[in-house]
Amino acid sequence: MLRRLKRRELGATPPRSVATHVRGKRVRSIELASHKEIVSAHNSGINSLQIDGSEARYLLAGASDGSVGVYDTQQATTFDSITHTAKHEALFTVDKSVPQGHMYSVSSVQWYPVDTGLFVTGSFDNNINLWDTNTLQVEQQFRMPGKVYAVAMSAMATTHMLVASGTEDVRVRLCDLASGAFTHTLSGHRDGVWAVQWSAASEWVLISGGCDGAIRFWDIRQAGCFQVLDQNRSQLGRRPPIVKSVPGATASVSGSSRGESLRVHRQGEQQHSRLNTPPPIRRKFRAKDFEAQRQHPGMVSTLDKATAHYGSVTALQTTDDGLYLFSAGTDSRVRLWDMQSGCNTLVNYEATRIRTHQGTQLAVSSDSSLLFVASAHSIQAYDVWTGHLHSKLSGHYDTVNCCAFHVNDQELYSGSSDRQILVWAPPAHTPLEDLDEKTKEGGALFVKDEDAWSD
Amino acid sequence: MRQQLRRPALRASPANHTALVSLPRLDDVVIPPPPPTRLIPTASKQKFLELYSTTVGNRKKKRKRSSGGDDSQQQLVAAAAASGTDDKLDDDEEERKQPSDDASWIMPTDTKIALEMMCAQFPKIEKASVRPFVLRTQLYSSVRDRTLVDRELEVLRQQQVVRTFKLSTGQDDYAIMFMADYLSQIEAAKKRLDLKESLLRELEVFHWFVGQVIPSCLDVGISHSHLLSLLSQGGSVKDSHVSLLMNAGLLVRQLVDETAYWFSIPNVGFLLKSISSGRKELLSFLSRRRYKEMLQAPLERHALRYSQLGLRFHLRDLLGLGQLHVVPSPSGPLIRVVHD
């Protein structure tokens, strides 16, 4: 480490590479933090966690009893000198005692992307609330037709402040915070929508994943979705697709000799001409094909029945660079998609047990090297590009529901049904003022065994 | 003495360069085949039919030829081509056979070798005549890297060497079968259907299925409209044809979507029950033990009561699913139930 710093000082290595190296090493050494603890103020399981994007300081947590709490991750409220743990208690909590507060479980929370003065929460009581952080009151309430499963706001939006909501209803609704009205209704899913995410590359692109297993990309400036991810369209790795499965038409087949290719081409033409003459099939199906052409161009995408998972899509997560998308499904698969080509990169993340009755959250480290998946009672960290299990973080006593990655400190916060929020961080070095109490022996530090319960 | 008139040669040749030059015939122009590229070639329908058209008739011969040594794809191609043209030996076929074995032998991938090895170890069942198939989870337990397995399997699927089927035993269960085995299974299913004389004409739909649908649609499922459009390339298709295919067991309706079908292996229903009950039995057998583990050697000698597929089949399957893992020990590998 010191040699690396010396080389940076001399100009031999660029400073950015030293920073990425240090961050990467810290991310890979994440374990249950002994120097930091969050004291959960909730009496029920935690469903959703989010760290604000503006300062990366405040953690917002939504729980199953309708309470929402905010914690400061940088400044501790108390310091336990015996165990040397910094305890972070909740700065405040809001629950059903506040007028217009949530009556049932809060499923999804998000900070307002610009600053931490507002936050948005969605709950099973069919409401989306906009809260003011300083007065702790509900500023606006949007009534949805069904239970709200996911809310999302775009982190890079400069021209709009729309909240996308995924509900029990098949349509994705966009609510405008400035006017208090619903601006968009996006139709295309055939079942409830469990995960909604804005793209990190464009402020106009919204990604939604539903119970029907489809992942749809919507450009909110035009009608209909412009892409539906299909798990059968795949590419081998990060490069553009080498082989594409083309349904039906064989005219684009590579022929080995000119004669053969001519023959194939002619056969392709023959097929096309045969398709034009209506085959004797039942009237009902023929009428449906014609109806597709008479529909609104925005509704044509509803006919595309490609699925990304063979069950429901439970979580979506984009990488910070906006190039890749992770999706988790109830078929216990996590898939990595190349957003530009819309292909499945066929990376296999081993043995995940994702909870199947509700949506979860995935977390990815900021340099896209590790993916954290909440599975059963632990969090599994996978290497993103190879799919190997890097480490398994066990510490919770019940199902882990959500996880959030802290970008600046390379820490992971996880919430579970055992009412705890655990902090996972790289091992911290002991502060210098305590060194005279400890003995150093061959580089290892020995700490006097002073715990809270023995005398 | 009559002078023999020299007829002008119709074709230009070096000898008579003053003769009328005619256009060269197309057969004379030989375009050399392009050098083999490193990209994955898409298998054209022509190639598929030429490889597999006479599979059924000459299965025994092909198996004898390809059982020895390494089963590279080129050897299989050569064997199929040779066996297919047994009765009519064309010169072109002979020529095509010779350069193909040496020049472009492709090293078989890990996944292909694992598939062949497991197909060879498939247990013999008297009650149901099903060609060997491999579950995807078994492949994961045999080859080290899962992403590599997925990618190589995708390549094999695109080359139409194997075919993937989604099984109804669970959310993520897939069976992989070699294309030749699948086609012979279809033939067997066709023979098993005993139909009335009037419906014998409908048997041509199997020919359309093999000729049009299988090479074009490489996915595990197909929508009704796409199926009809592909079948109609063979002839005029009616709904009774589609129900005949469903009766033979080649197509299964999807539960989620009424207008779509899964491709399925004919006559595999009995084995599906065996797969799920065998899994449960093996898992409960190990869970009932005191320390939930057992050495692999005595475990393999144990016989399963509710499954015909053999313990090794289910062991590989559960290892791939992640419900069991192998722990090395001084007395041999130990199989232990994973607990979370």
Supply the mean pLDDT for chain A: 83
Examine the pLDDT at B164 and tell me if it is beyond 90.
Answer: yes
Share of chain A above pLDDT 90, in %: 60
CATH number, domain of A179, equals 2.130.10.10
Q: Residue A336's closest CA among A225, A219, A228, A238?
A: A238
Q: Tell me, yes or no, whether A240 lies in a domain.
A: yes
Residue B155 has pLDDT above 60, yes or no: yes
Question: Residue A139: is its pLDDT beyond 70?
Answer: yes
Taking CB atoms and an 8 Å cutoff, what residues of chain A touch B235? Answer: none
Domain assignment present for residue A438? The answer is no
Examine the domain organization and report whether A239 and A227 are in the same domain: no
Report ipTM (2 d.p.): 0.74
Tell whether A283 and A184 lie within a shared domain. Answer: no
pLDDT of A16 reads: 92
Closest in A242, A264, A348 to B146, CB measured: A348
Number of domains in chain A: 2
> Between residues A304 and B263, which one has the greater pLDDT?
B263
> What pLDDT does residue A275 have?
36
Q: What per-residue confidence (pLDDT) applies to A166?
A: 94
Helix H, strand E, coil C: the string for chain B is CCCCCCCCCCCCCHHHCCCCCCCCCCCCCCCCCCCCCCCCCCCCHHHHHHHHCCCCCCHHHHHHHHHCCCCCHHHHHHHHHHHHCCCCCCHHHHHHHHHHHHHCCCCCCHHHHHHHHHHHCCCCCCCCCCCCCEEHHHHHHHCCCHHHHHHHHHHHHHCCCEEEEECCCCCCCEEEEEHHHHHHHHHHHHHHCCCCHHHHHHHHHHHHHHHHHHHHCCCCEEEHHHHHHHHCCCCCCCHHHHHHHHHHCCEEECCCCCCEEEECCCCCHHHHHHHHHHHHHHHHHHHHCCCCEEEHHHHHHCCCCCCCCCHHHHHHHHHHHCCEEEEEECCEEEEEECCC
> At A361, which helix (H) or strand (E)?
none
- Which residues of chain B lie closer than 8 angstroms to A211, CB-CB? none
CB distance A280–B44 less than 8 Å?
no
Final residue in a domain of this structure, among A272, A303, A334: A303
How distant is the Cα of A43 from the closest Cα of chain B, in angstroms? 25
Domain assignment present for residue A11? The answer is: no
Give the pLDDT band (50/70/90) at residue A37: very high
Search chain B and give the residue with CA nearest A263. Answer: B46
Confidence of residue B335 (pLDDT cuts 50, 70, 90): very high
- pLDDT range class, residue A90, cuts 50, 70, 90: very high
CB contact B294 to A (< 8 Å): no
B228 touching A (Cβ < 8 Å): yes
- Residue B63: the pLDDT is 43
Residue A241 has pLDDT above 70, yes or no: no
Least confident of A83-92, A282-291, B43-52, B125-134: A282-291
Are residues B326 and B296 in contact, defined by beta-carbon separation less than 8 angstroms? yes
Residue A223 pLDDT grade (very low, low, confident, very high; cuts 50, 70, 90):
confident
Can you give the pLDDT at residue B315?
Answer: 93
**Is residue A133 domain-shared with residue A274, that is, in the same domain?**
no
- Nearest neighbour of B34 by CB, restricted to A243, A256, A282: A256
pTM over 0.90: no
pLDDT of residue B82 exceeding 50: no
Tell me how long chain A is.
455
Is the residue at A103 inside a domain? yes
Per-residue confidence (pLDDT) for residue B234, from 0 to 100: 81
Helix or strand (DSSP H, E) at A176: strand A172-176
Contact B237 A281 (CB under 8 A): yes
Q: A103-107, B15-19, B130-134: which has the minimum mean pLDDT?
A: B15-19
**Mean per-residue pLDDT of chain B:** 75
**Calpha distance B230→B241 (Å, rounded):** 13
Q: Closest-CA residue in chain B for A237?
A: B151
pLDDT surpassing 70 at residue B119: yes
Q: Is B70 in the A-facing interface, judged by CB distances under 8 Å?
A: no
Closest residue to A330, CB basis, from B33, B171, B224:
B171
Cβ contacts (< 8 Å) between A346 and chain B: which residues?
147, 150-151, 154
Option in B217, B236, B237 nearest A247 (CB): B217
Return the higher-pLDDT residue of A297 and A432.
A297
CB A142 within 8 A of CB A175: yes
Q: How far apart are the first and last CA of chain B?
A: 109
Q: Is residue A268 part of a domain?
A: yes
Q: Is A20 inside any structural domain? A: no
Final residue of a structural domain among A303, A318, A343: A303
Chain A interface includes B4 (CB < 8 A): no
Check residue A220 and give its pLDDT.
92
Query: In whole angstroms, how far apart are CA A416 and each of A47, A126, A349, A374, A377?
Result: 7, 23, 22, 9, 8
pLDDT of residue A250 exceeding 50: no
Residues of A in contact with B149 (CB under 8 A): 348
Nearest CA in chain A to B218: A245
> What pLDDT score was predicted for residue A449?
61
More confident residue, B206 or A32: A32
- CB contact (8 A) between residue B33 and residue A256: yes
| Mean pLDDT confidence for A254-259 | 35
**Same domain, yes or no, for A225 and A324?**
yes
Q: Are residues A48 and A172 in the same domain?
A: yes
Domain that holds residue A257: 235-303
CA distance B151 to chain A (A): 6
B50 part of contact set with chain A, CB < 8 Å: no
For residue A162, what pLDDT is reported? 95
- Show residues of chain A in contact with B156, CB under 8 Å: none
- Measured CA to CA, the distance from residue A251 to residue B9 in angstroms comes to 40
SS3 of residue A238 by DSSP: coil
* Any domain includes A435: no
Residues of B in Cβ contact (< 8 Å) with A231: none
A316 and A298 in a common domain: no
- Are A275 and B229 inside 8 Å of each other by CB? yes
Looking at the domain assignment, is residue A4 inside a domain?
Answer: no
Whether residues A157 and A277 fall in one domain? no
Query: What is the percentage of chain A residues whose pLDDT exceeds 70?
Result: 81
pLDDT at B205: 83
Local confidence band at B11 (pLDDT 50, 70, 90 cut-offs): low
B155 at the A interface (CB within 8 A)?
yes
Cα distances from A147 to residues A71, A213, B213, in angstroms, run 26, 19, 43
Q: Do A247 and B33 touch (CB under 8 A)?
A: no
A51 and A173 within one domain: yes
Same domain? For A197 and A246 the reply is no
**pLDDT at residue A273 tops 50:** no
Q: How confident is the model at residue B326 (pLDDT cuts 50, 70, 90)?
A: very high
Give the pLDDT confidence score for residue B61 in this predicted structure. 43
d(CA A24, CA B317): 36
Q: What is the pLDDT of residue B31?
A: 56
Residue B70 has pLDDT above 60, yes or no: no
Q: Given a cut of 90, is residue B96 above it in pLDDT?
A: no
Q: Over the stretch B176-193, which tens digit does the pLDDT of each residue have?
A: 999 999 998 888 888 887
Residues A299, A412 share a domain:
no
User: Is it the case that residue A254 has pLDDT exceeding 60?
Assistant: no
Highest mean pLDDT among A88-97, B220-229, B331-340: A88-97
First-to-final CA distance of chain A: 40
Nearest-by-Cβ selection for B224 from A279, A285, A387: A285
Q: Which residue has the higher pLDDT, B31 or A308?
A: A308
Q: What is the pLDDT of residue A413?
A: 96
B211 vs A contacts (CB less than 8 Å): none
Q: Are residues A223 and A338 in the same domain?
A: yes
Give the residue-averaged pLDDT of A370-388. 92
Q: Do B218 and A254 touch (CB under 8 A)?
A: no
Same domain, A214 and A355: yes
